[in-house]
Amino acid sequence: MEQGLELLGGGKATRKSVDPMSLKDGSRIAVIGAGPAGSMFSYFFLNMAEMMGLDVGVDIYEPRRFCHRGPAGCNHCGGIVSESLVQRLATEGIRLPDSVVQRGLESYTLHMDVGDVEIATPLLEKRIAAIYRGNGPRCSEPLDTHSFDGYLLELASEKGARLIPRLVSDVRRENDGMTVSCADQSSATYDLAVVATGVNSRLMETLESQTAEFARPERTKTFICEFKLGRDVIRETFGPSMHVFLLDIPRLEFAALIPKGDYVTLCLLGDDIDENLMDQFFSAPEVRDRFPGGEIPGHVCHCYPRINIRPAKPVYGDRLVFIGDCGSTRLFKDGIGAAYRTSKAAAKAAVFHGVSAQAFHDHYAPLCRRIDNDNRVGKMVFSFASLVQKARFARRGILQMTANEQQQTDSPQRMSGVLWDLFSGSASYTNVFVRTLHPAYIGNLLWNLVSANLRGGRTGKSGPSDGEADHVHH
Ligand SMILES: Cc1cc2nc3c(=O)[nH]c(=O)nc-3n(C[C@H](O)[C@H](O)[C@H](O)COP(=O)(O)OP(=O)(O)OC[C@H]3O[C@@H](n4cnc5c(N)ncnc54)[C@H](O)[C@@H]3O)c2cc1C
């Protein structure tokens, strides 16, 4: 407990405490990690400080080199960003060049044992874009695309942040500052430590072991790999579409194949993805049929990164704040969007309200609470999706309703819109959930459940015939 107060600070937020801490000229800030959260924080912070005429130094600690191909430069991610986020960032002055954002994806194709359906982009601002977090997979040829994370870090550096290419091994409260120590034994003291290490970092364990009051985020293991198929094959077999699978595989919440140039990225999200789950996924006919000759090719690189499924507690202390994945993020979707929101809110709190626990409590924690509350609704939505995964009759109804909507584009796209926002993370889970309560949505779904199951066959754009459906073992 005593030690806990050391890390989080004695001034644990209470409404009554007075905040004596604000930044002044010459103050120094350490940002630990230059993923999207760390770099965007530095960018926003330096912008706002400049506006206030505040001369504050920002050091970003990041050992990774985003110009490297393979694991050394990669921050493990599907790399899907919604067009609305791309546009939002542009309004903040973060104009991602075409070499960073590929706007090649025009639709989602949903694959189920009962058939497939392609869901076209509902609106222009709802388009999805693909990015590479590093500079391409291991052993790949130099790409004509550039690293998203590298670009953001460059932007922060241009604003004046100093990059320190070191791994941070500890952060401790000492007197009136936060001491940041590195693996090479170097250390420095700062007025504020911004932890943006994501959830795949040992530092979170170290911080948790220092204090009984701090709990790092709860995590689960995912799987991600890259297949090299070549542009022409990808164009023919995948088209400009992200392929999403709704399969009856326990613990699998989301599976997608995302075409990117010569490569296709596979992302499996769920409850501790393991070999057994992957075997089931790769042996599913809906998955094999996606690949040329129905054969799953070897992948050029793979990893099992973790994702945050419950936020850190608390996400702030005196002179300390956790942003992005290592604080609060959106469940399964739009982690980059959450990194943007949390980094901006934390920067604003620090510049305009100071670096006390009270300032972060009042001006940063409410955003994290909103994200957490929305994730609770998200959990409910995913539980419902799990039921659909198990119920073939429900899959038939959903497939038929979506396919009908895609053919009659002038009628309301209720199911298509819900699925789009669920896959892309373009809308909050609460918004998606509320739309599923609309009487027209419920009525239409019920009608499709009945009629599709009376017909009993496969529907959809490119699904095989009824006979083939019988071969599916689920
Ligand atoms: C399989 C998978 C697929 C995903 N797909 C998507 C998607 O399609 N779209 C989307 O929006 N989100 C997606 N996400 C989520 C997204 O990757 C994260 O939400 C996002 O990367 C969080 O950004 P961050 O900056 O908080 O952390 P990270 O991106 O994890 O960055 C943390 C940085 O901190 C550095 N670091 C770590 N420890 C230390 C240390 N001790 N000292 C110094 N530096 C350190 C790391 O090297 C890294 O650069 C996916 C996640 C996974 C696992």
SS3 1: coil
Looking at residue 433, its pLDDT comes to 96
- DSSP code of residue 294: G
Q: What is the pLDDT of residue 5?
A: 41
Determine the atom of ligand 1 nearest the C-alpha atom of 66. Answer: 49
Say how far apart CA 160 and CA 192 lie, in whole Å: 17
Mean pLDDT taken over the chain: 87
Please give the single-letter amino acid code of residue 249. Answer: I
Whether the predicted model's global pTM rises above the 0.85 cut = yes
For residue 167, the ligand 1 atom closest to its alpha carbon is 42
- Indicate the pLDDT class of residue 463, thresholds 50, 70 and 90: very low
Give dist(CA 320, CA 54) in Å, integer: 19
Report how far residue 352's alpha carbon sits from residue 177's, in angstroms, rounded to the nearest whole number: 19
Distances (CA, A) of 142 to 19, 145, 261: 51, 8, 12
Mean per-residue pLDDT, 149-158: 95
- The protein residue with its alpha carbon nearest to ligand 1, atom 29, reads 35
- Residue with CA at minimum distance from ligand 1 atom 52: 77
- Whether omega for the bond prior to residue 165 falls within 30 degrees of 0, making it cis, is no
Closest CA to 432 of 447, 415, 449, 444: 415
- In this prediction, residue 6 has a pLDDT band, given cuts at 50, 70 and 90, of low
DSSP string, 366-389: HHHHHHHHHHHHHHHHHHHHHHHH
Is 382's pLDDT higher than 60? yes
Q: What is the rounded CA–CA span in Å between residue 356 and residue 17?
A: 10
Residues with CB under 6 A from ligand 1: 32-38, 61-64, 75-81, 167-168, 196-198, 201, 203, 222, 224, 267, 305, 307, 324-325, 329, 334-337, 339
Closest atom of ligand 1 to 330 CA is: 19
Supply φ then ψ for residue 323, to 5 degrees: -125, 165
* DSSP type of residue 283: H
Q: Could you say which DSSP state residue 147 is in?
A: B
pLDDT of residue 468: 33
If you average pLDDT over each of 58-72, 292-306, 426-440, which comes out highest? 426-440
For 341-430, list the strands marked E by DSSP: none
Q: For residue 338, which atom of ligand 1 is closest to its CA? A: 19
Examine the pLDDT at 11 and tell me if it is beyond 80.
Answer: no
**What integer pLDDT is reported at residue 469 of this predicted model?**
33
Count other C-beta atoms under 10 Å from residue 417's C-beta. 20
CB 449 within 8 A of CB 397: yes
For residues 333-343, give the mean pLDDT.
Answer: 96
CA–centroid distance, 407 to ligand 1, in Å, is 38
